Amino acid sequence: MIDLNTCIIDNNSTYVYGFKKMISLKNAGQQVTHFNNGVEAIDYLKNPLNAFNLPDIIFLDINMPVMNGWEFMNEFVEIKSQLRKKISIYILSASADINDIERAKNISDISDYILKPVDWCRLEEIFNSLQMAG
């Protein structure tokens, strides 16, 4: 089983703590990086010092201060060609708003829109599919 570098972009520290625990129990992820907002994550992705330590997968919340998930995606689309790897992005949101779900479906860089809390089986499916692709 290959290890996946995982990134969580979410400002809810309680949710992030639980999500990190779930990932560590799955033992899928040699590294879990966390950012409280999109600006921190974009700065990390753009920093050349991190070029060989980019995440394989990003779990992205929509509603955050400073830079929300939609704004992050706009920036990500601009910089993705400069990144040295393909990064899978999953929206993780408490919002069941059909407009948010449709908006996510219309962004080709978003792999899926998942309602919080993500369940164990869905998380396992995601990691397994990425490991098979890798």
Residues of the domain holding 25:
10-116
C-alpha of 30 from chain center: 15
Residue 24 confidence (pLDDT): 81
pLDDT digits (tens, 9 = 90+) for 104-133: 999 999 999 999 988 888 988 998 888 777
Give pLDDT tens digits for 14-33.
Answer: 999 998 888 887 765 568 89
CATH of the domain at 16: 3.40.50.2300
Is 98 among the domain residues? yes
Q: Enter the pTM of the model.
A: 0.93
Domain presence at residue 84: yes
* CA neighbours closer than 13 Å in the CB half-sphere of residue 132: 6
Q: pLDDT tens across 39-67, in order?
A: 999 999 999 999 999 999 999 999 999 99
User: d(Cα 41, Cα 120) in Å, to the nearest integer?
Assistant: 25
114's tokens: 């998942």
Does the residue 57 lie in any domain? Answer: yes
Residue recorded with tokens 């499916």: 125
